[in-house]
């Protein structure tokens, strides 16, 4: 049942100044009324709660099922439909820690509330039309965000940036569909009110918009998940030193012995506010004993998976053939390490970004280069433009684009088939936005939410 009362801790469990418990559902007010009481006076909780002004925090006593006081705190009533879920919703702020929130939840359960499933509050918001599916995903993204750029993108999506763009595309397709239906219904008016060429123009414009949006997917998905930046190069090239410098902590071991790093180390970080996963790898070389060889195999797998390779080559050294190959075959930046050891005059003509982890030279330039290569290259991507941030988006929009391609092929031949393809494109967009939401899609979106959201 959809409208039963659900309750959950909306803040992380553990020691904290306060904890917030959320309660939502048709009978939320009556239910909460049984476990709260005004700070002073004898009014029953139920009566008192009905008189509490909407969306205003008021002091209350929280009681267990025997009427004993658990805590005293703040309570805010959000009457339907002006609440996060669109239902009657009450937020109870009690003291944090392990005891008070747990007792409060126990009291709510005893009064008839059920524990909320992960993401259930947002799911209800979606079903009550407070959010669409893209916005619901953005709520999750905002909670998961660690880098400022991730937060900005999630907020933009939450405010409906991507939804509006997709709704406009859907609107345009529906209009084309109505023109086609006219043609299907009155085929004898062969030069009907809308010549095929005009439909073709509009169809192509829409298809181009879909392609542009699809082109944002790599950067968008990278933004959400963090781009994999792999430091690779020969043993002793200064990879681990650079890894530490970029992270700002001594995470990886550094020694003058070639072959120090044996296993790949990964750490999340940000570069100019953009999320990256930095990976330091074992130096690539042919020789070496078994353990080192194993490490090198792992390095190669990382190199293959990298969104960006930082190929580390000491300043002043000619690139070897295999290093050139790495640069050619992967998205890569050439980093000239240990720049402090070579006078500027001798390395002026060298390609690559010269850095020194000792003097700090070039590190900012490198950070800038990384951010630029990963997040602002390519067409159609500007910050705060709508972006596809998930595989789900990419798959659905690709389906819409394919349907439009098929429609273009049939245009001028079989209007019924064209209409059929347009309808498929519309339904792909609708599934993406969440105008229609098959349970299976919802299940996938919400399975990774935290309880209480
Ligand atoms: N002068 C100077 N020395 C550096 C710099 N970066 C690293 N080194 C030295 O170069 C040696 C190797 O550094 P590492 O960072 O361990 O090199 P690596 O590429 O991780 O080496 P492996 O893990 O063995 O593949 C160490 O002695 C470092 O102190 C630098 O910018 N300037
Ligand atoms: Mg190393």
Mutate to test the pocket of ligand 1, among 230, 237, 238 (most ligand atoms within 8 A of CB): 238
Is the pLDDT confidence value at 237 over 90? yes
Nearest-CA residue for ligand 1 atom 14 is: 238
Tokens coding 256: 């003058």
Ramachandran quadrant class, 318 (left: phi over 0; alpha: psi -120 to 50; beta: rest) = beta
Residue 206 has pLDDT above 70, yes or no: yes
Nearest CA to ligand 1 atom 8: 238
- pLDDT of 1 reads 46
Task: Please give the pLDDT value at position 205.
Answer: 95
Q: Which ligand has the minimum distance to the alpha carbon of residue 358?
A: 1
Highest mean pLDDT among 80-89, 137-146, 365-374: 80-89
Q: pLDDT tens across 421-442, in order?
A: 999 999 999 999 987 666 766 7
Residue 378 has pLDDT above 60, yes or no: no
What is d(CA 449, CA 446) in angstroms, rounded to the nearest whole number?
5
Beta bridge partners of 267: 278
Residue 126 has pLDDT above 90, yes or no: yes
- Nearest ligand, CA 338: 1
Interval 253-290: pLDDT, tens: 999 999 899 899 999 999 988 899 999 999 998 877 78
- Shortest-distance atom of ligand 1 to CA 241: 15
CB of 340 closer than 6 angstroms to any ligand 1 atom: yes
Q: Is the shortest distance between the CB of 264 and ligand 1 below 6 Å?
A: no
Which helix (H) or strand (E) element contains residue 354?
A: strand 353-354
Alpha helices in 114-160 (DSSP H): 120-127, 133-144, 148-158
Q: No. of H helices and E strands in the chain?
A: 17, 13
Ligand 1 pocket check for 316: Cβ under 6 Å = no
CB 281 within 8 A of CB 232: yes
Q: Which band of pLDDT confidence, cut at 50, 70 and 90, is reported for residue 83?
A: very high
Map tokens 């086609």 to a residue.
180
Q: What is the DSSP track for 5-33?
A: -EEEE-S-SEEEEEEEEEEESTTHHHHHH
List, in sequence order, every residue forming a beta bridge with 114; answer none if it has no partner: 6
Phi-psi region of 405 (alpha: psi -120 to 50; beta: other; left: phi over 0): alpha
Residue 360 alpha carbon to ligand 1 centre in Å: 14
Extract the runs of DSSP E, i.e. beta strands, from 121-254: 227-233
Does the C-beta of 239 come closer than 6 Å to ligand 1? yes
Q: What is the C-alpha end-to-end distance of the chain, expressed in Å?
A: 19
């Amino acid at each position: 049942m959809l409208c039963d009362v659900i309750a959950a801790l909306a803040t992380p469990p553990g020691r904290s100044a306060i904890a917030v418990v959320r309660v939502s559902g048709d009978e939320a007010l009556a239910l909460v009324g049984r476990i709260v009481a005004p700070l002073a006076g004898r009014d029953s909780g139920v009566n008192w709660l009905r008189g509490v002004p909407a969306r205003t925090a008021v002091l209350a006593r929280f009681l267990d099922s025997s009427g004993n006081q658990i805590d005293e705190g703040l309570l805010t009533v959000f009457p339907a439909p002006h609440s996060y879920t669109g239902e009657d919703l009450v937020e109870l702020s009690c003291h944090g820690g392990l005891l008070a929130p747990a007792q409060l939840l126990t009291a709510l359960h005893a009064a008839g509330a059920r524990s909320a499933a992960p993401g259930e509050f947002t799911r209800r918001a979606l079903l009550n039309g407070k959010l669409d599916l893209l916005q619901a995903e953005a709520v999750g993204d905002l909670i998961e965000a660690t880098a400022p750029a991730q937060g900005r993108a999630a907020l933009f999506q939450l405010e409906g940036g991507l939804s509006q763009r997709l709704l406009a595309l859907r609107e345009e397709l529906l209009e084309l569909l109505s023109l086609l239906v006219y043609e299907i219904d009155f085929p004898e008016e062969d030069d009907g009110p809308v010549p095929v060429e005009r439909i073709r123009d509009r169809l192509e414009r829409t298809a181009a918009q879909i392609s542009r949006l699809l082109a944002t997917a790599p950067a968008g998905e990278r933004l959400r998940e963090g781009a994999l930046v792999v430091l690779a190069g020969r043993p002793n090239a200064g990879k681990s030193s650079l890894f530490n410098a970029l992270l700002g902590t001594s995470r990886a071991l550094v020694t003058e012995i070639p072959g120090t790093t044996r296993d790949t180390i990964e750490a999340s970080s940000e570069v100019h506010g953009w999320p990256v996963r930095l990976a330091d790898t074992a130096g690539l070389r042919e020789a070496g004993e078994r353990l080192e060889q194993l490490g090198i195999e792992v390095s190669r797998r990382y190199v293959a998976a990298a969104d960006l390779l930082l190929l580390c080559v000491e300043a002043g050294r000619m690139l070897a053939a295999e290093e050139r190959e790495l640069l050619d075959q992967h998205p890569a930046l050439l980093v000239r390490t240990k720049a402090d050891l070579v006078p500027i005059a001798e390395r002026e003509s060298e390609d690559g970004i010269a850095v020194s982890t000792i003097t700090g030279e070039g590190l900012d330039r490198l950070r800038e280069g990384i951010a630029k290569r990963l997040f602002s290259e390519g067409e159609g991507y500007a910050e705060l433009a709508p972006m596809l941030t998930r595989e789900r988006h990419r798959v659905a929009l690709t389906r819409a684009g394919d349907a439009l391609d098929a429609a273009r092929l049939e245009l001028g031949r079989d209007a019924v088939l064209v209409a059929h393809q347009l309808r498929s494109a519309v339904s792909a967009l609708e599934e993406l936005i969440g105008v229609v939401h098959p349970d299976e899609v919802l299940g996938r979106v919400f399975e990774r939410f935290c309880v209480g959201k």
